[in-house]
Chains A and B, each alone.
Chain A
Amino acid sequence: MEWVEVLFFFEVLIGGLLAGVMYSLVALGFVLIYKASSVFNFAQGAMVFFAVLSFVGFMELGLHFWVALPVTVVLMILVGMATERFVLRPLVNQSDDTLLMATIGLAFVLEGLAQMAWGVEVRRLDLGIPDVPMQWFADLTDIFVSTLDVVAGAAAGIMVIILALIFSRTKVGLGLRAVADSHAAAQSIGIPLKNIWMMVWATAGIVALVAGMLWGARSGVQFALVGIALKALPVLIIGGFTSVPGVIVAGLIVGASEKLAEVYIGPLFGGGIEGWSPYMLAVFFLMFRPEGLFGEKIIRRV
């Protein structure tokens, strides 16, 4: 094989791995909420959209970047609190389907509110990080890697580490895990369900904001951001719904495999296979590990 082809392979691989991290960032929000409340939060995509659109909206109102950021964080915490109060609290101990449906309703509300408040125009978000190839790396290797992707990857990595530590090392994390196991049992031993949920939803909101900012800087702040949640689903199930580190590993697998498949296998079929190839890969993985790579083993008793 020619040297150029080898280099190209690595370029695809690296690009895929970095794209995968971007998926992980979105998937992280799902995992947080699922872990703490066993709710599949359909509204995660809408939260990403809502968060970053509000952020850009505040900046348009004249707020400085570093003022708009905390304001948006506070807004997302309020959204989390409102969600807990008006959606989740009345639905304690309901079935998973019901909770899923409620989050779908929440998605409509958030999408509608964001568009009502800030309008439907596509906004540009400039984080000051250029989305162009890193010159020194390109000179060195002839492989193009965007600075923004590297920063995004680093941000995702840091967030995953922090969250993983919170879950495994702190009392709050323990509480979260207890709540995930059973709402009723956790309540009965005195874990304040209310606070836990509020916290988790607020955290998921902040994660959504970070994901939205990075995705928004890449492709503009707009409604289509809602759709990136779909990209996060295969990541979720390969990693296992309940594992924070799993998300990052699965993201890397999904990103790399989908890019490699599209570039090397896609042309044989006229392209466009990355729409479904991650799902096929997920099915393949699940055949061997039905609870995902890092998911908790499901024990079933009769």
Chain B
Amino acid sequence: MLYRQAGRFRTSYSMDARLVPFFEDRIALAAVFLFALCVVPFSASDYWLSAILIPWLCLSLVALGQNILMGYAGQLSLGSAGFMAAGAFACYNFELRIPEMPFLVSLIMSGLVAAAVGIVFGLPSLRIRGLYLAVATLASQFFIVWVIDKFGWFKNYDSSGIITAQDIVILGKSFTTPAEMYVVVLLVVAVMTLLAMNMASGSVGRNWMAVRDMDVAAEAMGISLLRTKLQAFAISSFYCGVGGALFAFTFLQSLEPVAFDINLSFRILFMVIIGGLGTIIGAYLGAGFILLLPVFLNIFFHAVVGEAVDATIVSAFEQVIFGVLMIMFMIYEPLGIARLLEIGQERLRRWPFKV
């Protein structure tokens, strides 16, 4: 191992409050970020930027929102795609109706709209728990998409009910190439991740976790359930809304409300569980697994078997492999990919003396 974690004590309060306690970890994170910001946009192909990295980052942000609600605050929700839709269509309408509004402000506003919607649909959480809550949140999923789909105003009365996302303009510069859009997404996601790390390690996050672990006990300790739960719903929906707006503006670009259907909500749920509940990095890893694995399987099988086997069977076989990998993951590491990473780190610590 390059550095030791043992024996390094936190001697002051400020040290204890650090988001990333070890200097070396901070360097590593900064290096990854700088690499993603300075090297990737110039070296990756358009395919990688616009078909892999951009949707991955956008969905990671949504998964982060879902993880805040589910992993930190313990409220099982299945409405994330609905909140994404709220964010995406809010952003479109802000840009359309108030053209002078800067894109980043529209983005924040669309997050706030999604948060407001999230609070409304979070209300049942005060009374309902667990799986019951999950199914109840499906109401938001179906209702939001239905409302947007049904009322032409949200789509500016387009004859087909499709919106075309406006170009992203920040400070007079337009960001339209894949590399430029990638940079915008990366910066937004980085800032919001930092915020999430702050919240998770601060009093807000501790309240969430207390409610998650035992809400009755948390209430007895003086934590307001109403405030904590609704706050979690609001912040989670904010992340989903911003993620949805980015997903619409940088990835899909022209879309109909049905793009945010129930399957997307399910996929975001998978991301969070596979990645690791209650971890920040898990959102990224899970989004990568769920989003990219089918793509890689598709590329891989087309490259390997090619025309030899009926393409329908290949496509179905990809599904089987995907399912098997998912089951194996749960069996060998139920705590998700984030936990695997941790185990790897622990092993590395003893390396080369013991593997």
Contact = CB atoms under 8 A, between A and B. Distances in A.
A287 B128 CA distance: 7
Interface in B215-274: 216-217, 220, 262, 266, 270, 273-274
**A contacts with B: majority SS:** helix
Interface residues of A, number: 53
Interface stretch (B57-65, B179-187, B322-330): B322-330
Given A119-B312, A290-B132, A302-B217, A282 B139 contact: yes
Contacts of B326: 101-102, 104-105, 108
A101 B316 contact: no
Nearest to A286: B128
B150 A272 contact: yes
Contacts of A237: 131-132, 135-136
Contacts of B135: 233-234, 236-237, 279, 282
Given A233-B135, A234-B135, A291-B132, A105 B124 contact: no
For A98, A111, A300, the residue with the greatest tally of chain B CB atoms inside 10 Å of its CB is A98
Nearest to B323: A108
Q: Is the interface of B mostly helix, strand, loop or mixed?
A: helix
A138 interface: no
Nearest to A291: B132
A112 interface: yes
For B135, B149, B319, the residue with the greatest tally of chain A CB atoms inside 10 Å of its CB is B135
Contact of A94 (B128, B149, B266, B334): B334
A112 B146 contact: no
A113 B139 CA distance: 31
A227 to B, nearest CB: 9
A279 B136 CA distance: 6
B334 A91 contact: yes
Contact of B317 (A91, A116, A282): A116
Given A101-B270, A269-B150, A90 B323 contact: no
Contacts of B149: 272
A107 B263 CA distance: 13
A192 B114 CA distance: 49
A234 B135 CA distance: 7
A280 B139 contact: yes
A271 to B, nearest CB: 9
A112 B318 CA distance: 8
Contact of A276 (B142, B324, B330): B142
Contacts of B262: 230
B136 A112 contact: no
B138 interface: yes
B331 interface: yes
A87 B220 CA distance: 39
Contacts of B320: 108-109, 112-113, 116
Contacts of B319: 108-109, 111-112, 115
A256 B277 CA distance: 39
Contacts of A286: 124, 127-128, 132, 136
Nearest to B124: A283
Interface in A228-251: 230, 233-234, 236-237, 241
B129 interface: yes
B39 interface: no
Contact of A290 (B127, B322, B329): B127
Given A91-B330, A116-B316, A233 B124 contact: no
B324 A105 contact: yes
Contacts of B127: 286-287, 290
A273 B149 CA distance: 11
A136 interface: no
A97 B312 contact: no
Interface string B307-319: 0000011011111
B106 to A, nearest CB: 28
Contacts of B124: 283, 286-287
B6 interface: no
27 contacts: A86-B327, A90-B331, A94-B330, A95-B334, A97-B277, A98-B330, A101-B326, A102-B330, A105-B325, A108-B320, A108-B326, A109-B327, A111-B323, A112-B318, A112-B320, A112-B322, A113-B320, A119-B312, A230-B138, A233-B135, A236-B135, A279-B139, A286-B128, A286-B136, A287-B127, A301-B216, A302-B217
Given A98-B273, A109-B319, A112-B320, 11 more contacts: A104-B266, A104-B326, A105-B327, A106-B323, A111-B316, A112-B319, A113-B320, A237-B136, A270-B150, A276-B146, A302-B220
